[in-house]
């Protein structure tokens, strides 16, 4: 807990070169102390760190890592009060940046939220910020950008969350609305593209290393260690094949 409090100190984050390591340390510590995070204003401190990181293009991805760790490790009742504010911050930053990396990170975050807390909580909390904005996000961000997702864990997460969305729409009376029928069909098409097309046919290859010159005064050793020991957590360990999930979902809805 002493280490945790040092991590959360604003002083620790003032030096830009500390940020990647601090984020990684926060990701390691937070899952071990979810109850302590809710005490003594620590959650607010973490969310302030997220807001600061997300406000700059050079640290926005780190901000998503922080927020994802919070969403994955805390129960919804612990974060419910803050969720509309989080969406509002992300909407503003998305309008400002409009960068592919930001869009991909946003979509992965939404998928994690769906897997952990469900679509009703996602749609209701978004629509509390602005009426019907959830449908706009699905139409303008989710569906057209599914094809950009790479990485086996990320692809599975987003594919499963998107499949749950078509289940959500398919079982809702709102599906009778012609606009929603079109939305449903386009989402199915995007999921199939994500799962069946080779990555090189979906995504233009780009260098994903951080912009070191713009952001941080790294040493050569720091650059080499940027991805060293990075542990990817799979929030859907029990699901092996997202294609099977899609097929079962479509079969169930059809019947």
Which residue segments constitute the domains of the chain, with CATH numbers given?
Answer: 2-254 (1.25.10)
Please give the Cα distance from 114 to 124 (Å, whole number): 12
- Comparing C-alpha atoms, which of 57, 162, 66, 144 is closest to residue 102? 57
- 35-86 tens-digit pLDDT: 888 888 889 999 999 999 999 988 999 999 999 999 999 999 999 999 999 9
Which residues contact residue 161 at a Cβ distance below 8 angstroms, ignoring those fewer than 6 apart?
110, 111, 112, 114, 115
Q: What is the number of other CB atoms lying within 10 angstroms of the CB of residue 36?
A: 15
pLDDT of residue 77: 92
Ramachandran quadrant class, 118 (left: phi over 0; alpha: psi -120 to 50; beta: rest): left
Angle between helices 152-170 and 242-254 (to 10 degrees): 10
Q: Specify the pLDDT at position 116.
A: 93
The radius of gyration of the chain's CA atoms, rounded to the nearest angstrom, is: 19
Q: What is the pLDDT of residue 173?
A: 66
**What distance in Å separates the CA atoms of residue 59 and residue 55, rounded to the nearest whole number?**
8
Other beta carbons less than 10 A from residue 126's beta carbon:
25
């Amino acid at each position: 807990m002493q280490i945790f409090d040092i991590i959360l100190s604003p002083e620790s984050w003032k030096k830009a070169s500390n940020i990647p390591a601090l984020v990684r340390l926060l990701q390691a510590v937070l899952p071990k102390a979810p109850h302590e995070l809710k005490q003594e204003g620590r959650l607010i401190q973490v969310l302030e760190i997220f807001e600061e990181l997300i406000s700059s293009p050079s640290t926005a991805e780190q901000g998503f890592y922080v927020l994802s760790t919070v969403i994955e490790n805390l129960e919804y009742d612990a974060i419910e009060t803050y969720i509309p504010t989080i969406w509002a911050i992300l909407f503003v930053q998305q309008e400002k940046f409009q960068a592919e990396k930001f869009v991909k990170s946003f979509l992965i975050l939404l998928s994690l939220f769906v897997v952990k807390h469900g679509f009703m909580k996602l749609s209701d909390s978004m629509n509390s910020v602005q009426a019907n904005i959830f449908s706009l996000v699905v139409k303008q961000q989710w569906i057209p950008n599914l094809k950009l997702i790479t990485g086996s864990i990320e692809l599975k997460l987003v594919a499963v969350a998107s499949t749950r969305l078509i289940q959500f729409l398919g079982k809702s009376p709102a599906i009778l609305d012609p606009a929603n029928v079109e939305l449903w069909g386009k989402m199915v098409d995007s999921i199939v593209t994500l799962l069946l097309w080779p990555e090189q046919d979906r995504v233009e290859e780009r260098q994903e290393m951080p912009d070191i010159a713009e952001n941080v005064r790294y040493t050569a050793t720091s650059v080499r260690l940027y991805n060293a020991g990075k542990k990817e957590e799979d929030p859907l360990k029990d699901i092996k094949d997202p294609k099977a999930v899609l097929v079962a979902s479509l079969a169930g809805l059809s019947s």
